[in-house]
Amino acid sequence: MMRRSRDVATSQSCCSREARTSGVRSRDVSASQQRTARKRRNVRSERVCLKPDASPPQTRDNPTPRRATRLSGVGISYEPEPDGDADPGEVVWAWVPFEDDPSQGKDRPVLVLARDDGRLLTLPLTSKDHDRDAAQEAAAGRHWMDVGTGDWDVRHRPSEVRLDRLVVLTDADVRREGAALPRAVFTDVVAAAKAFHTI
């Protein structure tokens, strides 16, 4: 009878220990789950806080154009050379991100304004005619200037340069040379761009 009581007591003690251990384990699991949930919330909030003009990840097939708003102290001169390099005054083709979704973009012509410490300071071109919606574009903060036609466009369509958006590239971002703008047109573009950038 005494032995049976001891067995019962031992069994109750083991059950009690298991219950306590189970409680500890469940608290540990619960705390771990809460930490994981907090981390996930933090990751989500970090994603939400990404700046809309953040550059896309850089890969071999998706180079990363970078933006700039100042050209102060950078020497701008007209120096096109048919040497395969992107030179000031030339229109070259490069990958340029979309403004509304910088993770996406497309190859498009850009006008090289200057070289600065291994960087190319450029303005994007388009063959779309914005003369018809100039007021609407200006209201949205987009300002365009006609630059005529050139060999950068295989169909020689009239092109416009966007004056307010400066895109910074590297030589590795450039796909190919297009053609050079006439010196007078390049000079006019630089003068007009001064209204939007510190040059």
Q: In angstroms, rounded to a whole number, what is the distance separating the alpha carbons of residues 47 and 52? A: 11
Greatest mean pLDDT range, 46-50, 53-57, 141-145, 158-162? 158-162
| In the predicted structure, residue 84 carries a pLDDT above the cut 70 | yes
CA contacts within 13 A on the Cβ side of 36: 6
pLDDT per residue as tens digits for the range 131-162: 778 888 888 888 999 999 999 999 999 999 99
- CATH code for the structural domain at 90-194: 2.30.30.110
pLDDT of residue 78: 96
Alpha helices in the chain (DSSP H): 2-48, 134-139, 183-193
φ and ψ at residue 151, rounded to 5 degrees: -70, -5
Q: Report pTM.
A: 0.63
Q: Are 173 and 110 in contact (CB under 8 A)?
A: no
pLDDT per residue as tens digits for the range 97-131: 888 888 888 899 999 999 888 899 999 999 988 87
Q: Are 68 and 168 in contact (CB under 8 A)?
A: yes
Stronger pLDDT, 164 or 21, i.e. the higher one: 164
Q: Tell me which residue of 162, 149, 157, 155 sits closest to 193, measured CA to CA.
A: 162
